[in-house]
Chain A
Amino acid sequence: MSAKRHRLRLGFLPLLDAAVPIVAAARGFAEDEGLELDLVRESSWANIRDRIAIGHFEAAHMLAPMPIAASLGLTPIDAPMVVPMALGLGGNAVTVSIPVWQAMADAGAPGDGDPAKVGAALKAVIAERARRGAAALRLGVVHPFSGHRYELCYWLAACGIEPERDVALTVLPPPLMADALAAGRIDGYCVGEPWNTVAAAEGAGRIVTTKAAIWRSSPEKVLGMRADWAAENRDTVARLLAVLHRASLWCEAPENRGELAALLSEPAYLNLPAARLLLGLNGAVMPAAADAVPDFLIFARKAATFPWVSHALWFFSQMVRWGQAPMSAEALRAARQTYRPDIYRAALGPLGVPLPRVSAKVEGALEREMPVASSSGRLTLGPDGFFDGLAFDPDAVEAYVAALIRR
């Protein structure tokens, strides 16, 4: 135990879902495992990707599709990556400008975030704009390979809005979204918290629906690292996972929420008032709803940190759907192998962490919270439905993509 502390550099972007690594570094969890976590706040996902690839960072808070894209050879620097752990579920929302919201409200959009009804109103607004020859709505996402892009496009398409024809998608960094909305450079966006409630608090936008409403308990950020580094440093990776697991439990505990908000509000992390961060942490993001959005942001419950292979394959299915990746057996295999539940099991199983018996599941199959077969019998999952009722079978990716494209 007296061995020299192993120092790891870990990149992150200022978002609520960077909480697990931030807590791991700031609250001494890392030291307990003989690790020293050096957290580096980055200004772009591209920087995180490049600095992982060239070895400046050993690991990073990453958009889940990014390591998959790297393993598929879709990124500039050829460096296959792995995901041994997820950093939570949910946490994103869709915000539109006040004028767009007013038009949507006139078209019958409810204030409770119901994706089907809100989407129908947005479709009516878009159709009306097209009739009078107005420019297409400009919607921002944080990266071409992001859960934000895929859930936004999934929602739009399921509501009869063709993302590549009916709107103009643009990319912006999370902290600049609210400003761009206020300045009228974009009409709406999908981003992680706190960058939705920030726009709402400043009167620049209105939150219309959430990731949790579009796809309940859905994957978002992950711990990404180079595949070769993970293979050469198995013990360090296992210790890092143990640290992050403990941090995830701390983040999840309701009694720690105030302290978590205070920590994240520090200048080195999110640099925003703690009171603002509490909204997202509490899921109190829908202005018209009295209750918090269920499962808005999950850090540890429901196996939130387990790297489900079915999550990797869903992201891959969306890359194929939107023409970013080819549908081939080889690509499918590369996407599948990016997620490494085996590393997660080997690291956390011995610590008594409840592990699901399987590593992939049909996404959208659970209508309510259910106990599932696990190593300890204490694990519950779900509900995990897509708002349109469609389910994703990870053994039938091609058929799923075909069905999405057909409709």
Chain B
Amino acid sequence: MARTRLSVIVIDENRIRASIIEEGLQAAGCERVTVLNELEGIVERVAELDPDVIVIDLENPNRDALEHLLAVPRAVRRPVAMFVDHSDAAMIEAAVDAGVSAYVVDGLKKERVKPILDLAIGRFNAFARLRQELEQTKQALQERKVIERAKGILMQRGGLSEAEAYARLRRTAMEENRRIAEIAQSVVTAAGLLPGTSP
């Protein structure tokens, strides 16, 4: 009895990432995708949805519980194993590197499952990059604020123009082999210690 469409459950406490994966799976032609944000009631859901593949994030502390449930015969109709193939080390490594794990119904053809796992791995990696970029953007924004404050202090206390204040920060950074944001932070900190200035 060949199934035309695969049923996939995505368990991820990170709702944004879960929806990114859901969308990807649907775009790839997987119409039966269910996202669960928690493990509560998973046995009933698994029995009801009869999934071919279950994808779970590795940060989820409930992985042991999930494996236990999948091993209880009455909880699931068909035996569920981890990953496509016990010996597919490269796939497993890529998945763990990306922070995701998958459980697949025994007997499901490898070529049918591989695209799903590839997609999950790709989306997890993309999400991690996105998060990193967001962090960097936040940091850059924070640094720019500090530089602005340092410039203000130099202009107020040293009677410099804005361009001169910035040039001085840059020159000091070059001389001390440090980043401008670090020098700016030192200026702000020092000004906070001295009376008469509100940094």
- Among B40, B60, B86, B92, the residue within 8 A (CB) of A50 is B92
Fill in one digit per residue for B70-103: 1 if any A CB lies within 8 Å of its CB, else 0: 0100000000011100110100110010000100
Report if A172 contacts B (CB, 8 A).
yes
A18-26, A41-49, A155-163, A224-232 - the one binding chain B: A41-49
Closest to B89 in A: A54
Which residue of B is nearest A50, CB measured? Answer: B96
Interface string of A122-158 (1 = CB under 8 A from B): 0000000000000000000011100000000000000
Chain B contacts for A102, CB-based, 8 A: none
Q: Which chain B residues border A44 with CB–CB below 8 Å?
A: 58, 60-64
Chain A CB count within 10 A is highest, among B64, B81, B83, B87, for B64
Question: B81 touching A46 by the CB < 8 A rule?
Answer: no
- How many residues on B have C-beta within 8 angstroms of the other chain's C-beta atoms? 23
* Bound form: Cα–Cα A77–B92 in Å: 9
Contact B67 A46 (CB under 8 A): yes
Residues of the B chain whose Cβ atoms lie less than 8 Å from the Cβ of A45: 64
B130 within 8 Å of A by Cβ?
A: no
**Chain B residues within 8 Å of A144, by CB:** 64, 67-68, 71
* Pair A43/B96 contact, Cβ less than 8 Å: no
Chain A: which residue is nearest B62 at the CB level? Answer: A173
> What CA separation (Å) do A237 and B91 show in the bound complex?
29
Least CB distance from A111 to B in Å reads 31
Given A54-B93, A54-B96, A56-B96, do A47 and B68 touch, yes or no (CB 8 Å)? no
Q: Are B63 and A47 in contact (CB under 8 A)?
A: yes
| B residues with CB within 8 A of A | 40, 58-65, 67-69, 71, 81-83, 86-87, 89, 92-93, 96, 101
Residue contacts A-B, CB under 8 angstroms, 9 given: A43-B63, A44-B64, A46-B63, A46-B64, A46-B101, A54-B92, A78-B86, A143-B64, A176-B62
9 smallest CB-CB distances across A and B, nearest first, come from A76-B82, A171-B68, A173-B61, A44-B63, A46-B63, A43-B61, A171-B65, A54-B93, A44-B64
Task: Give me 10 other A-B pairs in contact (C-beta within 8 A), A44-B62, A47-B63 excluded.
Answer: A44-B60, A44-B61, A50-B92, A53-B92, A56-B96, A77-B86, A171-B68, A172-B65, A173-B61, A176-B62
